[in-house]
Amino acid sequence: MLFSSISFLYVFLPIVCFIYFIVPKKLRNLTLLIASLFFYIYGEPVYTLLLVFSSLSDFIHAKFIYKYADTKKSKYLLISSLIINLGMLGFFKYIDFIIISINNIFNLNVEVLNIPLPIGISFFTFQTMSYSIDVYMKRVKPQRSLVNMGTFVCLFPQLIAGPIVRYTDIEKELDNRSVRLDMISNGIKRFAIGLGKKVMIANLMGEFCAMFRLVEGKSVVFYWLYAIAFSLQIFFDFAGYSDMAIGLGSIFGFKFPENFNYPFIASSITDFWRRWHMTLSSWFKDYVYIPLGGNRVSKVKWYRNIFIVWFLTGLWHGAALNFIIWGLFFGLILVLEKLFILNLLQKVKPLFRHLYVILIVLISFVIFNASTMTQLMNDLRSMFMFNNLPFITVETIYYFKSYIVILLVALILSTPIVPIITNKIKNSKYQNITLLIEPIFIALVLIVTTASLIDGSFNPFLYFRF
């Protein structure tokens, strides 16, 4: 069930909110757990058992990890938990990729299994793994209530697309939380803004990208417009969904971690990854990079650690060669930044730093979105004028004019310009204007997005693939 669907917005969510706020506080986690399981069953009836098994497995493992703390049994139990989680993730997400790779290497013809990917498995396995690891590291005590544990893992606002919420993020709120009117108000506003990003910007950018593949008469400029449009699509798609998740969390009394912080204004790729998908970057830093030694080792091992993390980051996104190349591409850029690029960037004007970041990011997302290696090479060659394409064509001008307004709006909203202006107004003598305009704006966003969804327009969600 998509957040950006009529069934979610006007059936599921109102019913869940109504029940949640009328039941006693002690039953609210159970209410959310049942609602979350129904939410998952709606899209994945069979794989709901996998979600339940994952929750139960780490609930039991954590109890015994804590019980046998500081002994070999505790370590073996942690290893068992990791094997189960990584085994599930590996089997469902990578088994066909492994079979295809073996077939290509050894010229075999082993039949692929074509197993459907459980929605959100990359997210909920990382959550459960971090829980068991944190109990082993004595950062938290194990949860005593199976209902609370199930609520943590299955919580529908962040279940299928993040942000990656760790147990430490909401440990206290699981046991005792209050829902204030300002939290509900801010949650509704945040959800509406995220919905607008998804439906009114990401979907239109997605239409442009889909149309680009079908149009004849491509040009160099058209390929760059496609790179810009896809980068904006994936940003507003995922950031919008994160906004909706954070907003829903606030409505139910949870404070989820932020996932994006205007990454396109970054001054380096290092800075970009402090701003993009922050909960994933933080997860790999805390559970892979630092345990490997981080930067507290020799330079050779430091660079090795970076490449390991980015190889895994690419692989996390999908079982395909382009995702691995995408991850290693960022790993290479980050190593080069540490070697000399960051020093060079300090000597140039901020505009050139941002242009450097945008260039790298656009190239990276062309790699990310390629469906085949042939398409990947063709896209990159076309962007850099190696395919003998015209620089610009009539078709390019036509589609540029058709989408110029939404492209400009997306570019502006990908920066903090609007929040800066809004905050200045709120802190000025005209602050009362925002009290009137804000609810009208939110209502308009909901009306326009609803109309768009009823119209049955283009409405995919990119991160369901991961």
Helices (H), 414-459: 417-426, 431-454
What's the predicted TM-score (pTM) here?
Answer: 0.94
What is the spatial distance between Cα 258 and Cα 266, in angstroms, rounded to a whole number?
Answer: 17
Q: What is the pLDDT of residue 374?
A: 96
Q: Work out the number of other CB atoms within 10 angstroms of the CB of residue 418.
A: 10
* pLDDT greater than 80 at residue 465: no
- How much of the chain, in percent, has pLDDT values that exceed 70? 98
Q: What is the pLDDT of residue 454?
A: 84
Task: Report residue 57 as tokens.
Answer: 């497995």
Compute the average pLDDT of residues 278-284. 96
Q: What angle do CA 96, 154, 284 make, to 5 degrees?
A: 60
10 Å CB burial of residue 321 (0-12, 13-18, 19+) is middle
CA separation, residue 329 to residues 24, 265, 268, 311, 324 (Å): 52, 20, 15, 9, 8
Does residue 285 or residue 5 have the better pLDDT?
285
* pLDDT greater than 80 at residue 317: yes
Confirm if 77 and 68 have CB atoms less than 8 A apart. Answer: yes
Sign of CA dihedral 31, 37, 42, 43: positive
Sign of CA dihedral 49, 54, 58, 59: negative
pLDDT one-digit tens code per residue, 70-106: 999 999 999 999 999 999 999 999 999 999 999 998 9
What is the end-to-end Cα distance of the chain in Å, rounded? Answer: 16
What is the spatial distance between Cα 44 and Cα 53, in angstroms, rounded to a whole number?
Answer: 14
DSSP assignment of 350-379 equals: HHHHHHHHHHHHHHHHHHHH-SSHHHHHHH
The percent helix, strand, coil of the chain (3-state, each to 5) is: 75, 0, 25
Sign of CA dihedral 6, 122, 322, 364: positive
* pLDDT greater than 70 at residue 463: no
Q: What is the pLDDT of residue 375?
A: 97
- Among 238, 156, 250, CA closest to 465: 238
pLDDT one-digit tens code per residue, 96-122: 999 999 999 898 898 999 888 898 999
* pLDDT greater than 70 at residue 31: yes
Q: What is the pLDDT of residue 170?
A: 95
Compute the average pLDDT of residues 405-433. 90
What is the spatial distance between Cα 174 and Cα 412, in angstroms, rounded to a whole number?
Answer: 38
* pLDDT greater than 80 at residue 398: yes
pLDDT one-digit tens code per residue, 177-226: 988 999 999 999 999 999 999 999 999 999 999 999 999 889 999 999 99
DSSP 455: T
Q: What is the pLDDT of residue 133?
A: 97
What is the spatial distance between Cα 274 and Cα 269, in angstroms, rounded to a whole number?
Answer: 9
Compute the average pLDDT of residues 2-15. 92
Q: What is the pLDDT of residue 457?
A: 61
Q: What is the pLDDT of residue 44?
A: 81
10 Å CB burial of residue 291 (0-12, 13-18, 19+) is exposed
Catalytic (active-site) positions: 317
Q: Work out the number of other CB atoms within 10 angstroms of the CB of residue 44.
A: 20
Q: What angle do CA 243, 245, 247 make, to 5 degrees?
A: 65
Q: What is the pLDDT of residue 216?
A: 87
Residues near 284 by Cβ (< 8 Å), separated by ≥ 6?
Answer: 309, 312, 313
- Among 37, 61, 65, CA closest to 49: 37
Compute the average pLDDT of residues 269-274. 97
* pLDDT greater than 70 at residue 464: no
Q: What is the pLDDT of residue 395?
A: 93
Task: Report residue 200 as tokens.
Answer: 């009114």
Q: What is the pLDDT of residue 328?
A: 98
Q: Work out the number of other CB atoms within 10 angstroms of the CB of residue 411.
A: 13
Token pair 């109504």 is found at 18
10 Å CB burial of residue 18 (0-12, 13-18, 19+) is exposed
What is the spatial distance between Cα 438 and Cα 24, in angstroms, rounded to a whole number?
Answer: 32
Q: What is the pLDDT of residue 460?
A: 63
Amino acid at residue number 464: F
Q: Is 141 helix (H, G, I), strand (E, B) or coil?
A: coil
pLDDT one-digit tens code per residue, 427-444: 887 778 877 888 899 999
Q: What is the pLDDT of residue 456?
A: 66
Q: What is the pLDDT of residue 370?
A: 96
Q: What is the pLDDT of residue 462?
A: 63
